[in-house]
Structure 1
């Protein structure tokens, strides 16, 4: 499984033609305690960089953008009842949705883990 990151702090873990999407550990730390998550409906068509979900914390509400174009095939059903999973396991159990990739070439524009770590470090 390959994981890529966006400059908006989303991650996508690729398995075949499907990607599992969430927000990075850095993003959840910036948000603080997550209190609400709004997930996209299964079957929704997403565009790369388009709004896909919403995450609210005690500090702010933020959009979660889709790192790729595709169709939502699954959502993390437990997340609305346990939004704190985003804080405790952002890059694992706190995932938001899965998407069937429309164009795998879109992944080429995303950062690998090392590039993302360097990007976050540059934010100071």
Structure 2
């Protein structure tokens, strides 16, 4: 556990700070450094998640723990002078955000290989 490792060397103080994302923040008192922990397995934050990822190729991923994706290229290309189709596509994608994730990849039958690493979409 990463937090326990820090606690073995520093005084770790929980902070009430909330940036609107999934991280829970602590301060290392000896250094003043602030660290955010994102713990999807021990602290499921899905219900309050307000994040999506849009890639440079026009795909929008609603959750880093799922493979669901929507394509924003078609409304951009097919309606260059009208933002309404793009806005509709984004709203439709966000409505598909799951209520939970499955970060336990052993249940996803991936045979030891993830089809899309979080780092590919900015997570």
Is the pair's TM-score, using the shorter chain for normalization, greater than 0.5?
no
- Choose between structure 1 and 2: higher helix proportion: 2
- Choose between structure 1 and 2: higher strand proportion: 1
Report the structure number with the largest CA radius of gyration.
2
Give TM-score, length-normalised by structure 1.
Answer: 0.30
